[in-house]
Amino acid sequence: MIYKYTSGQPIDTGAMVMEFEAEPVAAFPLPHTTEDGRFCFRFTMEPDDIVYGLGEAPRGINKRGWVYESYCSDDPFHTETKQSLYAAHNFIMLSGSKMFGVFADFPARIRWDIGYTKTDEAVVTLDGTDFDLYMITGDTPMDIVRQFREAIGKSYVPPLWAFGYQQSRWSYHNAEAVDSVIDGYNNAQIPLDCVYLDIDYMERYKDFTISEAAFPDFKNYVQDKRRQGIHLIPIIDAGVKKEDGYRVYEEGKQKGYFCKTADGSDFEAGVWPGICSFPDFLRPEVRQWFGSQYQYLLDMGIDGFWNDMNEPALFYSVKGIEEALDKAAALKGQNLDLGRFFNLKDTFMGLSNRQEDYASIYHQIDGKLVNHQKVHNLYGAGMTKAAGDYFAEHCGEGEILMFSRASTIGAHRTAGIWFGDNHSWWSHILLNLKMLPSANMCGFLYCGADLGGFNENATRDLVLRFLALGVFTPLMRNHSALGTRDQECYRFENTQDFKDIVEVRYRLIPYLYSTFKRASEQNDLIFRPLSFDYPDDSVARECETQLMLGDECMIAPVYEQNVQGRTVYLPEDMTFVKLSGTRVQTQTLEKGVHYVKIALNEVPLFLKKGKKIPLTNSALRTRDLDWDNVTFIGDDV
């Protein structure tokens, strides 16, 4: 059952598609207080209780022992010390001595202290008093998840080709660079469906423009790639460059579509193009206008996009940079001691994403001005909704690939997400794994991390192990940053190992796609913690390096360097499968702990008793897969 409790005058976030009769928040069944304009509720936890949820968040599947914040944050350093990432997914669930879920439908900051201050108590603090709370009761975690997912609506389903292998880098700066990537994969006979265009495809980083110098005759170029089976996926950023004569800016300015400051002027801040204005995505007419801008690229044959920098990310505000420069000028010629030097350094280091800058932004909601801090977590979702609604109306459902960096629950109906600017760290293989079931619980099925890691220099073995997990994630994208080591599959020695891994993905696409579709249609999870399936198994309840996949499988990636395999726990007898290119090896293993050897070019998979999955032959493009001729691995084959 789902129960709704309302306080004040909540802002409609669009998260829910089902309506529930509301009771006053005074009736909310968990202990709660309101002090200093903040609402706080709490619950106790027994030692064996597990807390799930929060979608894209740091740390583990079990959220106990840390404090988290729902506040979409542009932070590329995804370490254990962080409290928030790019998303705000306000759903948690207690499983154990009690069984319930809570969804806080609230677009501002929320603090989730889940056993951090007191190990046996969770304290959730909403930075405001206008909200809806939903209490969800059920017999099992999966029962609660299904009820919640039904209430928030069906998850976005991308086109089939979006399950192919995708290659990205900041930046393939011109047509020759893109052609070189495609040629590299073709020559190595490694499957590929998508190549990404980061900010350098634009004319001076302006949204909905093309650099003629970098991509002359872009429309014919896109169509030529499509004939080759390659989809080009351009980036779109939230900030619109302030420039006279730039059509998008001129239209937005003339129509009053940009976010304001308290005095009614447009809020301005620096991002990639320099000074930008920011569309007020909380207004329906602005979303409709911004969504229509994508038609410029749709007309050129583009059928996929990634929305970025939409927390929104701010390099600096005009006010902030002027103050910093004035401070630096005043100190010129002075002998800077310890205090003054670090004060000046901190001034410039603190220019990006300042809270005072966010607090100076105003939106218009139902004709009223609302401070950005009251709706911060809706901004990126509004940008994605602008695009998704336009695509659904003008292109049809499921025809356009769309995913975003910033997100909140509700955006899952129009787009997927990627987990942002991770690092080429071994620990980020596990972080990717742990976020998958949590994101699924919040409706985000089409998701994945930057395989190989975005920041820093990747090693050959790290990329291979990362890809072996990415074989199973709906978004399988290799992405890296400018200035880092090239990590396209064909760049490394012995490219056959990479071919073996990527071919496994293509062989599994019929299974992965059908599993995805079923999860969307039935409000199910693609990835589940082992504890969902084996609630009475104490080892399974604590396992966070393995996941259940669909109804048939368990995955257990290798996540350490310089090892030949890993230890795996089998909660029941299973068939250990090693997939590599066209090769399939199977071994029956009994319930318990095993050390299994897994070569760098092998993808491990564990099939449950009585289950089987289909494999097709690989192909260089998803369009060339033969869905009619499959073989099966597993029982009764």
Domain 160-243+271-313+367-490 CATH class label: alpha beta
Q: Answer yes or no: pTM beyond 0.75.
A: yes
Task: Specify the pLDDT at position 636.
Answer: 58
| DSSP per position, 530-590 | HHHH-TT-HHHHH--S-EEETTTEEE----STT-SEEEEEESS-EEEEEEETTEEEEEEE-
| DSSP per position, 321-340 | HHHHHHHHHHHTTS---HHH
Domains of the chain, by residue range, sit at 2-152, 160-243+271-313+367-490, 512-634
pLDDT digits (tens, 9 = 90+) for 55-71: 999 999 999 999 999 99
Mean pLDDT throughout 569-594? 98
pLDDT digits (tens, 9 = 90+) for 296-320: 999 999 999 999 999 999 999 999 9
Rg (the chain; Cα; Å): 24
pLDDT(635) > 90 = no
Nearest of 384, 469, 387, 386 to residue 422 by alpha carbon: 469
Q: Are 509 and 622 in contact (CB under 8 A)?
A: yes
Backbone phi and psi for residue 277, each to the nearest 5 degrees, phi listed first: -105, 165
The CATH number corresponding to 2-152 among 3.40.30.10, 3.40.50.2030, 3.90.1300.10, 2.60.40.1760 equals 2.60.40.1760
Give me the residue label for tokens 């009690």: 98
pLDDT digits (tens, 9 = 90+) for 401-431: 999 999 999 999 999 999 999 999 999 999 9
pLDDT band at 588, cuts 50/70/90?
very high
| 3-class DSSP assignment, residue 256 | coil
pLDDT(637) > 80 = no
Task: Specify the pLDDT at position 634.
Answer: 87
Mean pLDDT throughout 461-485? 98
Task: Specify the pLDDT at position 584.
Answer: 97
Task: Specify the pLDDT at position 129.
Answer: 97
Counting Cα atoms < 13 Å in the Cβ hemisphere of 614 gives 17
For the domain spanning 512-634, the CATH number is 2.60.40.4040
Nearest of 611, 605, 606 to residue 634 by alpha carbon: 611
Q: Do domains 2-152 and 512-634 have the same CATH topology?
A: yes
Which residues lie below 8 Å from residue 232, measured CB to CB, with a gap of 6+?
Answer: 178, 194, 195, 196, 197, 222, 225, 302, 304
Backbone phi and psi for residue 34, each to the nearest 5 degrees, phi listed first: -130, 120
What is the rounded distance in angstroms from the CA atom of residue 344 to the CA atom of residue 581? 56
Task: Specify the pLDDT at position 26.
Answer: 96
* Choice among 34-48, 71-85, 623-637 with the minimum mean pLDDT: 623-637
C-alpha distances out from residue 137 to 25, 99, 110, 141, 145, Å: 17, 7, 22, 9, 10
- Percentages helix, strand, coil for the chain (3-state, rounded to 5) are 30, 25, 45
Counting Cα atoms < 13 Å in the Cβ hemisphere of 43 gives 22
pLDDT digits (tens, 9 = 90+) for 107-163: 999 999 999 999 999 999 999 999 999 999 999 999 999 999 999 999 999 999 999
Q: Are 252 and 277 in contact (CB under 8 A)?
A: yes
Nearest of 381, 313, 378, 399 to residue 351 by alpha carbon: 313
Mean pLDDT throughout 270-275? 97
pLDDT band at 39, cuts 50/70/90?
very high
Mean pLDDT throughout 88-96? 98
pLDDT band at 349, cuts 50/70/90?
very high
Name the token pair of 132.
């809806």
Mean pLDDT throughout 483-499? 98
| DSSP per position, 513-544 | HHHHHHHHHTT--SEE-HHHH-TT-HHHHH--
Q: Are 596 and 590 in contact (CB under 8 A)?
A: no
